[in-house]
Amino acid sequence: MKIQHSYQGSSSHRASSRKYHLRCRAADQHDVQTKPSVSQSHVNVISGYDSVVTHELRVKLGQTQREVLRGVNLKIKRGHLHMLLGPNGCGKSTLLKLLGGLIPQYEGTVQLDQPSGFVFQNPDHQVVMPTVAADVAFGLGRYTLKEEVVLSSVTSSLKLVNMQNYMYRATHTLSGGQRQRVAIAGALAENPKLLLLDELTTFLDVEDQFGVLEAVRNITHVKGDVTAIWVTHRFEELEYADSASYMQDGSIVSTGRPERIRSFLRTLGASVPQPSGK
């Protein structure tokens, strides 16, 4: 097993935030059996313009040690909103967890920008504080920061997801999509270079769905050096992607520009909407 991580700007390792653990535990108790850990023993700067490069990643899970990832080769450009599609059970969440340092045992190599922030499917499991501002600030509680630094970080994170006018709102009054945007802002406050977003729109109506997508696209466009991996099974969301991959049975079978993935999906017989120019 070989791990290489790139640290851009900050050398501080933030993968062990309390809220990060809390979110992981609450959302995915079944799967997350080990504390998120990212080894720093082989820290290397990832070269060039890529944010993620994996080579032949293999993961075996469960008592039967079934091979869930079967040689994943993936390359994602820094600053892209990259969508990961594929049928239920093909290994999307497993791959995302591995990239987030939540699966310590694997074969193959992975190089990626660090730190990463993870947001899961169900907003009810992730937004845990009574007000929006308190929730976004939660993870920063681990650091010794001046109040104005925390406020500035919370404000700028909320602005990126277009929730700046909700700062002092009670979180229980928000829609599902607004809560997802607050969860993303919470991850953003810790200044990640890689956002790992697992089926965030599953429980959302159409308006909320596109609000969250627009927020993520805005983050990658404004920041430039932040990359987002967006797992979805909704083909219409490809419209927001800079690039995408399609997974099947534990490996990536097509990758490239969204148009390429649309063509690939059509060869599988899927009905894929044309982009509407959003």
Ligand X SMILES: Nc1ncnc2c1ncn2[C@@H]1O[C@H](COP(=O)(O)OP(=O)(O)O)[C@@H](O)[C@H]1O
DSSP SS3 for 158: helix
Torsion angle in degrees (nearest 10) through CA of 202, 208, 214, 219: -80
| Residues 67-106 contacting Mg ion, CB under 5 A | 93
What track of x and - describes contact with ligand X for positions 130 through 149 (by CB under 6 A)? Answer: --------------------
83 is a contact residue toward ligand X (CB under 6 A): no
Under the binding rule (CB under 6 A), the answer on residue 86 touching ligand X is: yes
Q: Which does 61 bind (CB under 5 to 8 A by kind): ligand X, Mg ion, none?
A: ligand X
Nearer to Mg ion, 91 or 117 (CB): 91
* Radius of gyration from C-alpha coordinates of the chain: 18
Instruction: Give least dist CB 241 to Mg ion, A.
Output: 18
Interaction of residue 94 with ligand X, rule CB under 6 A: yes
Instruction: State which of residues 24, 46, 85, 90 lies at the interface with ligand X (CB under 6 A).
Output: 90
Does position 89 interact with ligand X (CB under 6 A)? The reply is yes
Measured CA to CA, the distance from residue 132 to residue 167 in angstroms comes to: 5
> Shortest distance, CB of residue 240 to ligand X, whole angstroms?
20
By a kind-dependent CB cut-off of 5 to 8 A, residue 276 interacts, out of ligand X, Mg ion, none, with: none
Interacting residues of 169 by C-beta distance below 8 A, sequence separation 6+: 131, 132
Binding piece for ligand X, criterion CB under 6 A, among 84-92, 200-208, 213-221, 258-266: 84-92
Cα–Cα distance between 247 and 260 in angstroms, integer?
14
122 binds Mg ion (CB under 5 A): no
Q: Which value, to the nearest 10 degrees, does the dihedral of the CA atoms of residues 92, 178, 158, 138 take?
A: -70
Shorter beta-carbon distance to Mg ion: residue 93 or 201: 93
- CB of residue 119 to Mg ion, shortest distance in Å: 13
Backbone φ, ψ for residue 193 (5° rounding): -100, -15
Task: Kindly tell me which of 93 and 180 has the beta carbon lying closer to Mg ion.
Answer: 93
**What values do phi and psi take at 95, rounded to 5?**
-65, -45
- Coil vs helix vs strand at 35: coil
Residue 34: helix, strand or coil by DSSP?
coil
CA distance 200 to 216: 11
Q: Is 36 in the site for ligand X (CB under 6 A)?
A: no
Residues that bind Mg ion (CB under 5 A): 93
Residues that bind ligand X (CB under 6 A): 31, 61-62, 68, 86, 88-94
